[in-house]
């Protein structure tokens, strides 16, 4: 039997419950195609507001939103009866914010961070794929995006280092 993607919940269900609203990225997860990409895109304005925070405060936001995300994603998955419903995009928000931790400023770096995060989140190379298959519940929904964000962060910082030290691109 072929895999069937779970149906999107009605917008009314998402917008009438604050936990679903957050889990669905303020409605961005309701996109019919590539909800994860739309969720990441919806995280960008929040990043732009957060980027001037001191690093300790930015890190605290990531930790708190990760912990809250474990609850939100678990709640939404239970409510929908689907473990990692594609419309649940809070994990994309936090993963992208992790990617952009201490990122250099500018639209080019924002675009590079966005592409790197989507690359790792969609392709799920090891160990992301292992985490995605083996960790369940809200923590499982969050952890693969945290891992993707961490890998994208390392690549972004490496590119920045290469740029600063050698003038690469």
Residue 15 lies in a domain: no
- Residue pLDDT, tens place only, 114-126: 999 999 999 999 9
Residue 104 lies in a domain: yes
Residue 161 lies in a domain: yes
Count how many Cα atoms sit within 13 Å of the Cα of residue 162 in the half-sphere of its side chain. 8
- Residue pLDDT, tens place only, 119-155: 999 999 999 999 999 999 999 999 999 999 999 999 9
Residue 3 lies in a domain: no
What separation in angstroms does the CA of 79 have from each of 21, 72, 89, 98, 110? 12, 10, 15, 27, 34
Confidence band, pLDDT 50/70/90 cuts, at residue 168: low
Confidence band, pLDDT 50/70/90 cuts, at residue 6: confident
Q: What is the number of structural domains in the chain?
A: 1
- Residue pLDDT, tens place only, 25-58: 999 999 999 999 999 999 999 999 999 999 999 9
Q: Which domain holds residue 131?
A: 26-166
Measured in residues, the chain has a length of: 169
Residue 16 lies in a domain: no
């Amino acid at each position: 039997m072929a895999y069937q993607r779970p149906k999107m919940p009605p917008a009314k269900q998402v917008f009438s419950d604050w936990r679903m609203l957050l889990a669905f990225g303020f409605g961005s997860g309701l996109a019919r195609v590539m909800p994860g990409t739309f969720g990441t895109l919806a995280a960008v304005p929040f990043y732009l507001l957060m980027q001037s925070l001191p690093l300790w405060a930015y890190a605290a936001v990531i930790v708190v939103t990760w912990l809250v995300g474990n609850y939100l994603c678990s709640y939404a998955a239970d409510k929908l009866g689907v473990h990692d419903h594609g419309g649940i995009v809070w994990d994309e928000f936090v993963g992208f914010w992790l990617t952009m931790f201490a990122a250099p400023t500018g639209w080019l770096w924002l675009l590079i961070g966005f592409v790197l995060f989507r690359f790792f989140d969609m392709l799920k190379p090891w160990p992301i794929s292992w985490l995605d298959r083996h960790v369940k519940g809200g923590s499982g929904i969050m952890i693969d995006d945290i891992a993707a964000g961490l890998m994208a962060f390392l690549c972004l910082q490496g590119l920045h280092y290469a740029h600063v030290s050698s003038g690469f691109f």
